[in-house]
Amino acid sequence: MYNHIGPEEFHNNPNCLEHFIQLDDNDIWTSLKVWGSHPDKVLSTLSNAIINRNIFKVEISTDPISPERKKELTYHISQKLNISLKEAGYFVSTPSIENHMYNPDDDSIDIIYPDGTIKNIAEASDMLNFSMLSKKVKKHYICYYRFA
């Protein structure tokens, strides 16, 4: 908790990995409670948000999140918490996710018939539209600190 441990330490010192493996929920909660009164405003605010279950707001969109929207939220948070824009950046995130509902190359759904023959569901069913199911869906979201 008090040392800076990076990938090199895990590779070079087996004790680091052993201690890391032994961390449990209680260690994390205790750390969050200690950090809740830390002088670092970002660390204390984020820790208290987790402790008090003040979860971040998430907005999902099929369109990319505009840089203006992210900048606006970052500015609002910096003003409200009296922190720099750089620090407020820890309170706003704009990732995206991609998903296939069904990818026949990765996921094979097979139907076994009473006579023992096996067919892929795409061949066996004329009711399902597999072009729609196999279409890649990309969602964008913005996740930001919500004031209680």
Provide the residue ranges of all domains of the chain, joining segments of one domain with +.
36-144
pLDDT at position 131, please? 65
pLDDT digits (tens, 9 = 90+) for 38-48: 999 999 999 99
Fold exhibited by the domain 36-144: Growth Hormone; Chain: A; (1.20.1250)
pLDDT digits (tens, 9 = 90+) for 117-147: 998 877 777 666 666 667 788 899 999 999 8
CA end-to-end distance (rounded Å), the chain = 29
Backbone angles phi, psi at 130, to 5 degrees: -75, -20
pLDDT digits (tens, 9 = 90+) for 78-107: 999 999 999 999 999 999 988 777 666 777
- Give me the residue label for tokens 């998903």: 99
